[in-house]
Amino acid sequence: MSVTEMKSSLVEEIKEWKRKRNAILLAHNYQLPEIQDIADVLGDSLALARAAGNTSADVIVFCGVHFMAETAAILNPEKTVLLPDLEAGCSLADSITVDQLREWKAEHPGAVVVAYVNTTAEVKAESDYCCTSSNAVEIVRSIPEDKEILFLPDMFLGSFVKNETGRENMHIWLGECHVHAGIASHQVEGVLTQHPEAELLVHPECGCSTSSMYLVSEGVLPAEKTHILSTGNMLKHSKNSDAEEFIVATEVGIIHQMQKQNPEKRFVPANPEAVCPFMKMITLEKVLAALKENKHIITVPADTAERAKLAIKRMVSIG
C-alpha cells in the first residue's frame, strides 16, 4: 500500500470513528497539512475556543496543544475532550507559573490581569480576562483607562497592544514563544528585498513585530503593505487582498491553508525554519488512536475551571 493509500485509509477510519462517537475535530492553523484537511473546524485560538463552546458533539478531539484542550475542557465539563499527544505543550504557556502570577499581582494590588490564551488553566483562573492575538487590543481598550493592567505572558504581543492602545499603565511579562521570537527583523527585511512587491503579514507574537511597527513609523517598511494580524486574520486578509504575493511572519504551518484558499497567489515564509515541534506532534495515527482508545482525556479541577471560565467567556464575547 502506498503512503497516499495509507493516509486515505486512515482518514476514512477516522471519519467512521467520528460518526460512532459523535465527535468533532478542532485543529489549529499550525497543524500538519493532513490534520488541517480533516478538521471540522480549522482556526486560530479564538475561533477554536468559540467552536468548543458551541459544539453539540459528545467528544472533542483537539488537534492543537495542551492549553487549547484545557480551554475546551473548561468550557465543556460534561464532554470528553481528547488531546492526541500529551507531549504537545507550549513554550509560551510555560513562561509563567501561577505562583509567579500571584507574586506579580501582590506587587500591583488592584491591577486588572489580562492573560493571553497561551497559558495554563491555573494562570487563567488567576486572571480577569483572557485574550487572543485577534482581540487583545479590543479587550485592553474595554478596560477603564485608570485601571493598571498586567499583561502576560507574551512580551511581543504585549508591546504591540501597548503601542496600539497607548496604555502607559500597562505592565508586560517578559515571556515569549520560542518559534515566533526566532523570526527576526533582519530576516523579514532580507525577504522583502527579494520580494519588493509583496505584502508583509506579521503575527504580533513575532520577535520582529515591535521592530516592524518602528520601521513602518520610520518609513522603512511601507505602511500600506505591512499588516500585524492574528493567524485567522492573516487568512482573511490574504483571501481578500488584491496582492499576488505575501511574506508570512509566523509559524509556517499556516501557509498550507493560505495556498489552498488562494492557489493563484504566492506565499513566502519570513523564516522557513519557524516550525513549532509541539504543533507537529499530532498525526493521523494519533487522532485515530484518540478516538478508538480515549487518548488522552483532558480534565481541569472544578474549582480551577470555574474561576478560569469567567476570563475565557470574556475573551470569546469580545471581538
Question: Which amino acids are annotated as binding site for iminosuccinate, given as ranges?
Answer: 28, 45, 116-118, 133, 203-205, 231
Residues 76 and 135: their CA atoms lie apart, in Å, by 22
- Which residues does the annotation place in the binding site for [4Fe-4S] cluster? 90, 177, 276
Please state, in angstroms and rounded to a whole number, the distance separating the CA atoms of residues 206 and 183. Answer: 6
Known binding residues = 28, 45, 90, 116-118, 133, 177, 203-205, 231, 276
The DSSP call for residue 111 is P
Q: How far apart are the C-alpha atoms of 146 and 254, rounded to whole Å? A: 38
Q: How far apart are CA 70 and CA 117, in angstroms?
A: 10
Buried b (16+ CB within 10 A) or exposed e, 20-54: ebebbbbbbbbbbeebbbbbebbbbbbbbbbbbbe
The closest alpha carbon to 273, from 213, 184, 205, belongs to 184
End-to-end CA, the chain: 47
**DSSP-derived 3-state class of residue 99:** helix
CB atoms within 10 A of CB 103: 10
